[in-house]
Chain A
Amino acid sequence: MMAAAFALLSFLTPSSAAQAPAAGQAGAGGQSGRGSLAAAHQPTPRLPDGTPNLGRVPGEKGVWDVWWVRNMADRIVGAAGGGDSTRGEAPVDLGSSDTSVRGGARSEPHVPFMPWSAAVYDYNSANVSKYDPEGYCLPPGGPRLMATPYPMEIIQLPEQKRIIMIFEGGTHVWREIYMDGRPHPQGDALNPTYLGHSVGRWEGDTLVVDVVGFNEESWIDYFGHPHTDMLHVVEKFSRPNKNTLHYEATIDDPGAYTKPWTVSWNINWSPNGELTEYICQENNRYLLRLRDDFGQPVFGNR
C-alpha cells in the first residue's frame, strides 16, 4: 500500500523525473557503477596466494560505494525485515523527513536495549540526531565506518601481515587491521579510541575482524544507538562476487545491550571510482549554529 502510494506519487512528480538526468551525469562523471550487472557475474577476485581480494584488481580503478545505513536496527540479521542481503542495494529515499520514521526504542523490540540505552536512544530520536558526533566532524567507530556514505577502499598487505582500510568520509580516516596473530592489548595497555583495536584472520573466504578498545564518543549509527567502552565488535567481510562486499557485524556491548545483536548489508563495487579529498573540519557551520536544549551555543562563546 505504502509502496504503491509512493510509486504513484513519484509518477506524478515532475521533479523526480527531472532528477534522473542528474543521476546519469553522475555516472558520466566516472563514479557510477552501482548495481552493475556485468560486475555481478564476475567471480571473486583473488590474490596470487588464493586469498579473496577485497580491493582493486591490479590495473583497474574501483572503490566500495558505501551507502547510508541510517538505522542499524533495520539491518538486524534474523529480525523481521532485517538482515536480508537482498536489501543491500542502496535504497531510494523518497524524501521522508527524519521525524516521520523515528519511533525510538519502543519501535525496535528486536534491539536488546537496557533501560538507560533505550532512554538515550529515545532522546536521540526525539531530537532527530541533533547531537550526532559525525555532525561535529568526529569519526564513526565500529560498523558505522561501513555505513557512512562516502567511498572506501580495502588494501591488503599480506607480506606485511596487515590490512589497511581507508575511508573518504567519516572525517577521512583510515584503520589498520593486524593480521599477524597478535592479541588485543590488555588492561591499561588498551587505550580507548574512536576506531578501537582491530585484529583479523581469514576463516575460509571470510575476513573476520575482532575489535575492542572503543571510547564512548561515537554512536553505533546515525539514529543514535549508544554504546559503552565495553563494546566488542566482530566483523565479517566477504566478497561473493566482484561487485559485492558482504558486511556483517556483531555488536556485543554488555554495558548497553542485554545480548549481542548482528547486523549486515551489502555494498556495491564502483568500478570507475577513486577516493577524493573530504576534510570535514574545514568549514563546519553546523557547529556554530548548534544550540543546546536550553538555547545556549554548544560550541564557542557562552
Chain B
Amino acid sequence: MRTKLAVVVAGIEVLLAAGPVVAHHSFAAEFDAAKPVKLTGVVTKVEWKNPHTWFYIDVTDEAGKVTNWGLEMGSPNGLMRAGWTRNSMKIGDSVTVEASRAKDGSNNANAKAVILNSTGQRLFAASSGPLQ
C-alpha cells in the first residue's frame, strides 16, 4: 500500500527537535536542520551498515507520483542502544519519518525519528550523540 506524502513542516517545533547528533561526519555540511520534512512511505531497502544506516522509502504524493527518498540514521551499534534491531524495519513496512533535508536539494534526508505505522512505535534514529 502506498501512502501519502504527509506534510512538509517548516516550524520551530520540528527545528528544535532536530538535534543534529550525527557524530560521524558534519551534519551541517550535508543536511539543513532548518529544512525539516515529515515523510510517510513504504520501505524499499535497508542498509544496516556503518557508519550510518541508510534506508529508502517510496513516497506517493497526492497526484500519485512516487518518489524514492534516502534516509540516513545512526550506526548499527548506536541504533541497537536506542532500541532497534536489524529487523525493526523491513522492506514493505509503512513508516513515517521525521527528518532534515539534504542541502543539495536531493531526495536525501537525515532521519531523527522513525514511526513504525503498524504498531505506532517511535524509534529515535540518531547515532550515538548527546541526545541518546
**A interface with B by C-beta (< 8 Å):** 6, 9-10, 12-16, 18-19, 21-23, 25-26, 28-29, 31, 67-68, 90-95, 97-99, 127-130, 132, 134-135, 137, 148-150, 168-169, 276-286, 289
Contact = CB atoms under 8 A, between A and B. Distances in A.
B83 to A, nearest CB: 4
B24 interface: yes
Contacts of B41: none
B98 to A, nearest CB: 7
Nearest to B21: A93
Interface residues of B, number: 44
Given A97-B34, A135-B24, A15 B113 contact: yes
Interface of B: 12-21, 23-30, 32-34, 47, 49-52, 54, 75, 77-78, 80-83, 98, 113, 122-124, 128-132
Given A22-B82, A22-B122, A135-B26, 8 more contacts: A21-B122, A67-B130, A90-B130, A95-B17, A134-B25, A169-B23, A276-B80, A282-B51
5 contacts: A22-B82, A128-B26, A128-B28, A130-B29, A149-B130
Contact of B24 (A29, A31, A134): A134
Nearest to A15: B17
A95 B82 contact: no
A276 B81 CA distance: 10
A67 B77 CA distance: 15
A137 B130 CA distance: 20
B16 A13 contact: yes
A266 B69 CA distance: 40
Contacts of B77: 150, 168, 276-278
Contacts of B25: 132, 134-135, 286
A95 B20 contact: yes
By secondary structure, the B interface counts as mixed
A279 B24 CA distance: 12
Nearest to B32: A97
Contacts of B14: 15
A91 B132 CA distance: 11
B51 A283 contact: yes
A105 B111 CA distance: 32
Contacts, number: 144
Contacts of A169: 23, 128
A232 to B, nearest CB: 27
A93 B113 contact: no
B35 to A, nearest CB: 10
Nearest to B127: A149
A137 to B, nearest CB: 7
Given A19-B124, A22-B82, A283-B50, A97 B130 contact: no
A127 B27 CA distance: 11
Nearest to B108: A289
B28 A98 contact: yes
Contacts of A132: 25-26
A4 to B, nearest CB: 14
A156 to B, nearest CB: 25
Contacts of B132: 23, 26
Contacts of A286: 24-25, 30, 51-52
Nearest to A98: B28
Contacts of A22: 82-83, 113, 122-124
Given A150-B77, A280-B50, A19 B17 contact: yes
Rank and list the top 5 A-B pairs by shortest CB-CB distance, nearest first: A135-B25, A98-B28, A25-B83, A128-B28, A130-B29
Contacts of A91: 130
B28 A13 contact: no
A19 B131 CA distance: 9
